[in-house]
Structure 1
Amino acid sequence: MSRSPLAWIAASAVGTTALLLGAPALAQSGAAAAAAAKPASVETMNDMALAAAVNVCELAVEQKVPVQNAVISNAKAITYVVTAAHGGQIAGAGKLEASQIVNGTIVQIVGRVKQGCYPKITADDKKFVDEVIAQFTAQAKQQQKK
């Protein structure tokens, strides 16, 4: 039985993010700081996703790091920022679970990789990008039917 790319990546990233969130460096004010946090704006999320996609492209094209690995790393970083600095809140979406942030971030990053360096990445990396986009598109269509 195979798992979808998003499910596997989200599970991997959420597990690591949970470990990071318990790090002593985050113990500033703990739950009180997260509760009082201002939601991340849509513009901030777009900027972080664009920066992450540029990083993914740099790592994949110049350093030959698999796109999947680079996407996971960047999704973890963005999820950490949104959770730690914004209490897991995104404007217009409310408070989200780490897995929701990871999944949304993955889709945003992969979409920008497709627009950016897609012609320069390996066939395996293209397959990963295409699978994530296809899965997201299928899920979006199912949501519209509901």
Structure 2
Amino acid sequence: MISQLILVSLMISLATSKSCLAPASYILGSCFTFINTPMSFWEANSYCEYHSNNAWSYLALVESPEQSIWLAKSATMFTSENYWIGVYRPSVIDNFRTILNRYLTFQYFANINPSMNYAVGRKSDGKWETRPEEERFPFVCSYKPSEQTTPST
């Protein structure tokens, strides 16, 4: 019985695949696109929203250390050591949030008390730092992949 459940489970997982639209890359539940055009934080987010190949794109939502490290290792084409991700806080007395205005469930700050309000990832180790929002950096956009079901035979 258990082996039949495992087989059915495997067939379902093979029949359902998550896909990202090119040139995005899939990693641990999200699709990421790297943009090597330096922009301010809010300009970068607008670019993700309006120039992406997906209607639900925004500055990268990083949900785990593995994603953060993968982004850092994949950001080799960036001319800057830092790149914008979708993390900010409205003021220094507030908590950090995602670009979707949700409080963070995961943080990867290099400094325990970040002094500025807008987060960048570091190519060297994937840790986060804060910068003024008007600084210009390349950036990463992200979105959740669509599920495409293929008929099983």
Q: Same fold per TM (> 0.5)?
A: no
Name whichever structure is richer in strand by fraction: 2
- TM-score, normalization by structure 1: 0.29
